[in-house]
A = this chain, B = another copy of it.
Amino acid sequence: MTTRRAPRARPETLVKRTEILRAATATFGAKGYKNGPLTEIADQVGMTHAGILHHFGSKDQLLVEVLKYRDQEDVAPLEGAHIPGGMELFRHLVRTAFTNETRPGIVQAYAVLSAESVTDEHPGRAYFEERYQTLRREITEAFAAVCAERGITAPATVDRAAASILAVMDGLQVQWLLSPDDVQLAEASAFAIEAIVAAVLEPSRTPLDLGLHPTS
């Protein structure tokens, strides 16, 4: 319970810390959190594993800081450093998918860690729970804004659509990591997002009878 916050860092030290965070992202991405040893991270930055623990206190804490670090890095390049709303959000998500195709390491880290986080007592669980909640809310609000713009009331499907959009992006990442030649990450993401957005804005022109609506 010792709050090892703010150890009055030397300016040079902050550089080293982010170096560690990057190395940890690589190792956790390649091997998972539980199976990614501190020594491997330490090697990458020319240190012993004890040095890592000196900076972050524990491996659990390191993971939390890795996740937080990735968040602020992702938001950084955005205009005004804030996620857009309305239809622009969907465009942003599609752009993100295209960007992701150029950085398999980070994609792998998120894919592995998010799934691993559902295991018992995982230190990253709270982070991913909140993350998904936040993202779903933002997408739901974007739907509401777009619907309002078009003078229609947002249908009840927006909640399902919001979860589905995130889901399809994540799921495609796993398939893409397994078979990069068979799966077009960005284009498939764009296609699916368009399909889902269209289904919300112009619902069920043709009922497909997939068993959803219990007619039988």
Seen from chain A, the residues whose Cβ lies within 8 Å of a Cβ on chain B are 30-32, 34-35, 87, 90-91, 94-95, 108, 111-112, 114-120, 125, 128-129, 132-133, 136, 157, 159-161, 163-164, 166-172, 174-175, 177-179, 182-184, 187-199, 201-202, 204-206, 208-212
- Count chain B CB atoms within 10 A of each CB in A118, A133, A169 and give the residue with the most: A118
What are 16 A-B contacts defined by CB distance under 8 Å?
Answer: A31-B120, A32-B119, A94-B212, A132-B178, A160-B184, A163-B184, A164-B171, A164-B192, A167-B170, A167-B171, A170-B174, A171-B171, A187-B212, A190-B210, A192-B192, A198-B199
Contacts of A184 in B (CB 8 A): 159-160, 163
Dominant secondary structure of chain A at its interface with chain B: helix
Q: Is B160 a contact partner of A167 (Cβ separation < 8 A)? A: no
Q: Is B212 a contact partner of A208 (Cβ separation < 8 A)? A: no
A168: which of B129, B164, B179 is its contact (CB, 8 Å)? B164
CB contact under 8 A between A190 and B212, given known A116-B116, A136-B182: yes
Give chain B nearest CB distance to A132 CB in angstroms: 5
Contacts of A115 in B (CB 8 A): 111-112, 114-116, 174
Q: How far is the CA of A172 from the CA of B86 in the complex (A)?
A: 23
Beyond the given pairs A133-B179, A170-B171, A191-B212, 20 more chain A to chain B contacts, judged by CB atoms under 8 angstroms and listed by A's residue number, are A34-B34, A87-B208, A94-B210, A95-B211, A160-B184, A160-B192, A163-B175, A163-B183, A164-B168, A164-B195, A166-B175, A167-B188, A169-B171, A170-B174, A187-B212, A191-B199, A197-B208, A198-B198, A198-B205, A198-B206
Q: Kindly report which residue of chain B lies nearest to residue A169, judged by CB atoms.
A: B171
